[in-house]
């Protein structure tokens, strides 16, 4: 009598993107000649840099010759790539992270979802609201929550740290005790970044409460404002209380190629086991549940960390940031209040005339033929906002912004 996992069955259905697709499809059927413009999805659109493609083709050449062919690599990632990541952190961020603290993965989503597995089932979880849905969903599936409450729109047992205009979408640490704190800066969906002082407050909290911070830095290459930390390890004490997750997806265009990494310091402390235990359990998790990232993708990642590759990635990031500027300036020019969009590919725009997120979504679709993402889909605190994504071809972004500007008063 096999039985399905009750925790998994607690997950409310993934509502947001299917619902966007459903409404868009219905609208398109009613307006078959209209060209819908999409600023909804955080998905890269520009070509892979040639230097990364060449590196991956070279790897394929090596795999084509029995003298240079290799099969399984280390589950933790190729040593050369881990060394290059450590060197990258030293050179570009000024922090020292040991090579052995890096774990190469098939992307930040997997790591963000899997990391909860190595913590005790009764862990209390804190998340930003609004937030990337994977933090909550993975913890619900992992049994770290109560049931979903349709009235509040939240899961029992999870602590939601609300972002809003007053705190600039950077919440302060919880007032009560929690065990795991998920932070994402530059933030998806709000585009907010946290200062050293704001992050220091979380690190201090974590050390005092023996909590662990899961820091999602997937968009760190988009930071341009002087003094904003690119990694949690710029904060003193973070090596005792913080795990970092990051990715090649949004800097190297690897959303489909799949490559990311986690940093789980040997020095991380927990209550019920010696220092080093969490590092050791993550190593055990990755070597048991995973067989390493694709060796082709890893060759591309190594190239992305070299001088030429790094420059190519920065150009790619600049392109999307150019889009973000166009969106932000365009929306602000018609009186919409915008957040993010400077150190981030996401613009978080307040809905017009007090509309709800879905009302503004419908309005923009119907009048401007532009698809955005309703903020309420990222959490209760996202109500009243929409996320506008800078991922798109320049000409499409320009056309979408022009259409919004033209039709905002329809």
Of 14-43, binders to a copy of itself (CB under 8 A) are 14, 41, 43
Taking CB under 8 A as the binding criterion, the range among 80-88, 147-155, 207-215, 352-360 that sits at the site for a copy of itself is 207-215
Q: By CB under 8 A, tell whether 47 contacts a copy of itself.
A: yes
Q: Is 2 in the site for a copy of itself (CB under 8 A)?
A: yes
**What is the C-alpha radius of gyration for the chain, rounded to an integer number of angstroms?**
21
145 binds a copy of itself (CB under 8 A): no
Residue from 390, 391, 357, 355 nearest 375 by CA: 357
Report cis status (omega within 30 of 0) of the bond before 91. Answer: no
Q: How far is the CB of 1 from a copy of itself (least distance, A)?
A: 4
Site string for a copy of itself, 249-288 (x = CB under 8 A): ----x-xxxx-----------xxxx---xx--x--xx-xx
Beta-carbon contacts of residue 312 (< 8 Å; ≥ 6 apart): 49, 50, 51, 52, 304
175 binds a copy of itself (CB under 8 A): no
Helix (H) or strand (E) holding 377: none
Residue 113 binding a copy of itself, by CB under 8 A: yes
Please tell me the distance from the alpha carbon of residue 346 to that of residue 302, in angstroms, as a whole number.
27
Candidates 19, 106, 332, 362; binder of a copy of itself (CB under 8 A) is 106
Beta-strand pair 242-247/260-263: antiparallel
3-state secondary structure of 247: strand
Element (H, E) at 273: none
Which residues have a Cβ under 8 Å from the Cβ of 195 and sit 6 or more positions away?
A: 170, 227, 228, 229
Q: At what angle do helices 50-63 and 307-333 cross, to 10 degrees?
A: 140
Nearer of residues 32 and 176 to a copy of itself, judged by Cβ: 176
Per CB under 8 A, contacts with a copy of itself among 362-391 are 391
Does position 197 interact with a copy of itself (CB under 8 A)? The reply is no
| Contacts (CB under 8 A) with a copy of itself, residues 208-237 | 209-212
Return the residue of 96, 167, 291, 311 that touches a copy of itself, per CB under 8 A. Answer: 291
Q: Which of 177, 236, 314, 329 binds a copy of itself (CB under 8 A)?
A: 177
Interaction between residue 342 and a copy of itself (CB under 8 A): no
């Amino acid at each position: 009598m096999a039985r399905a996992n009750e925790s998994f069955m607690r997950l409310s259905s993934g509502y947001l993107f299917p619902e966007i697709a459903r409404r868009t499809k219905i609208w398109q059927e009613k307006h078959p000649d209209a060209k819908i413009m999409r600023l909804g999805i955080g998905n890269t659109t520009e070509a892979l840099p040639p230097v990364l493609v060449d590196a991956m083709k070279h790897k394929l050449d090596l795999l084509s010759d029995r003298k240079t062919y290799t099969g399984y690599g280390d589950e933790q990632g190729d040593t050369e790539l881990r060394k290059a990541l450590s060197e990258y952190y030293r050179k570009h961020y000024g922090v020292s992270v040991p090579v052995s603290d890096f774990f190469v993965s098939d992307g930040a989503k997997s790591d963000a979802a899997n990391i909860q597995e190595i913590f005790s089932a009764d862990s209390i979880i804190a998340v930003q609201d609004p937030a990337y849905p994977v933090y909550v969903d993975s913890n619900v599936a992992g049994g770290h929550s109560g049931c979903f409450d349709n009235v509040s729109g939240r899961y029992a047992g999870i602590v939601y740290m609300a972002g809003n205009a007053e705190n600039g979408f950077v919440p302060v640490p919880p007032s009560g005790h929690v065990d795991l704190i998920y932070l994402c800066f530059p933030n998806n969906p709000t585009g907010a970044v946290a200062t050293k002082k704001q992050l220091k407050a979380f690190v201090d909290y974590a050390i005092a409460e023996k909590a662990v911070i899961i820091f999602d830095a997937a968009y760190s290459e988009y930071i341009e404002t002087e003094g904003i930390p690119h990694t949690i390890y710029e904060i003193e004490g973070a090596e005792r209380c913080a795990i970092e997750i990051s990715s090649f997806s949004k800097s190297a265009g690897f959303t489909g190629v799949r490559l990311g990494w986690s940093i789980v310091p040997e020095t991380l402390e927990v209550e019920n086991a010696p220092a080093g235990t969490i590092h050791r359990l993550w190593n055990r998790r990755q070597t048991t549940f995973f067989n390493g990232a694709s060796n082709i993708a890893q060759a591309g990642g190594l190239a992305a960390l070299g001088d030429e590759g790094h420059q190519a990635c920065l150009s790619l990031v600049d392109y999307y940031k150019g889009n973000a500027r166009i969106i932000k300036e365009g929306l602000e020019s018609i009186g919409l209040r915008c957040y993010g969009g400077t150190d981030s590919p996401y613009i978080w725009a307040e809905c017009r005339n007090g509309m709800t997120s879905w009302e503004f979504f419908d309005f923009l679709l119907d009048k401007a033929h532009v698809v955005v993402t309703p903020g309420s889909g990222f959490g209760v605190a996202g109500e009243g906002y929409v996320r506008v994504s800078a991922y798109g071809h320049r000409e499409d972004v320009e056309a979408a912004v022009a259409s919004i500007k033209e039709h905002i008063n329809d």
